[in-house]
Structure 1
Amino acid sequence: MDANGHHVGVTVSDLDRAVAFYRDELGLDVAAEFSVGGEAFADAVDVPGASAAFAHLDAGGVRLELVAYDPAGHAVETPALNRPGATHLGLSVPDVDAVYEGLSDDVETLSEPRTTESGTRICFLRDPEGNLVELLDA
């Protein structure tokens, strides 16, 4: 099999709010917005009667797919990074410190930017849905 990367998907409860965060706070461009429904889609995602609104954002070689389902599922507790099943989106930026300083006051961060033992400058933050996003120097 010759598989190639296509996208990273994140399910959200409020698509407009999520798009605004990734566009306005992190500078990602919206590449496409669309909706999908119907029996084939509902069967494929194993959610009876499902339809969904999608937004694809360009993350520089990675497509970030934000999706809001109807009907919406139940929220689950976001696991800590050291627990199996934990996920995060990693985005390289030209200057982690500059992005950190430019974040809105209401953006939750886990810490100020730090330099790891490997020499990488990183900072973790949460999007409006509580999903973890790692920023690292390009």
Structure 2
Amino acid sequence: MSDTPYLLASAGLSRLSHVSLEVADLDRALGFYREIFGMQIVLERALEGPDFEAVTATPGARSRLVRGLIAGNAVVQLFSHSWRKPNAEKRTLMSFEVRDGHAAHTLLRDKGVTCKSEPVEFDNSWAFVIEDPDGHPIEIIQWKADAQPYRSS
């Protein structure tokens, strides 16, 4: 392995946080993941309003989210969206967890990486989305100290 530092090391890049899948029919997809993989639901929520519009860079954006655990610790999020055609590009969103989201944003912006918004504060996190050179979305997320995003409520 190389000892060469990488850009987000100083922001505390720690792990892949989760994988998000866009689905055409959330209830059908949820049934599949529960039946086939034993997905345990840890969160169900509607996403909408100014903060969600900011992080998606889309006025009027609304989505429905189900977050679940597969095999105890693999985090999968299923989304259905009102603001773009389901599975139009079959995009998968990777989300990387950092200790300091604002520092990560500054490092990335200063490096010339496209950031879709400033870090947006949610009830349990700060998050923003960048794009890789091919336009694939990558979320950078900082969980708040008291957040327990992968535990059943």
1:45 paired to 2:56: yes
RMSD: 2.1
Distance (whole Å) between structure 1 residues aligned to residue 80 and residue 61 of structure 2: 10
TM-score of the superposed pair, with normalisation by structure 1: 0.51
Distance (whole Å) between structure 2 residues aligned to residue 35 and residue 41 of structure 1: 10
Distance (whole Å) between structure 2 residues aligned to residue 68 and residue 74 of structure 1: 7
TM-score of the superposed pair, with normalisation by structure 2: 0.46
Note the C-alpha offset of 1:69. 0.9
Q: Across the two proteins, how many residue pairs are aligned to each other?
A: 80
Distance (whole Å) between structure 1 residues aligned to residue 76 and residue 16 of structure 2: 11
Q: Contact 1:13/1:72 (CA < 8 Å) preserved in 2? A: no
Note the C-alpha offset of 1:77. 6.3
Task: Give the direction of change, closer, same or farther, for the CA distance of 1:62–1:74 in structure 2 (3 Å limit).
Answer: closer
| Unaligned stretches of 5+ residues in structure 1 | 79-84, 88-138
In percent, how many aligned pairs have the same letter?
Answer: 28
Write 1 or 2 for the structure with the bigger share of helix. 2
Bigger RCO (CA 8 Å, 6+ sep): 2
Note the C-alpha offset of 1:47. 2.3
Q: Contact 1:53/1:67 (CA < 8 Å) preserved in 2? A: yes
Could you say what secondary structure the match of 2:12 adopts?
Answer: coil
Matched residue, 1:63: 75
What are the residue-to-residue correspondences of 1:26-105 with 2, within 5 Å? 26-59=37-70, 60-73=72-85, 75-76=87-88
1:2 paired to 2:49: no
Q: Contact 2:24/2:80 (CA < 8 Å) preserved in 1? A: yes
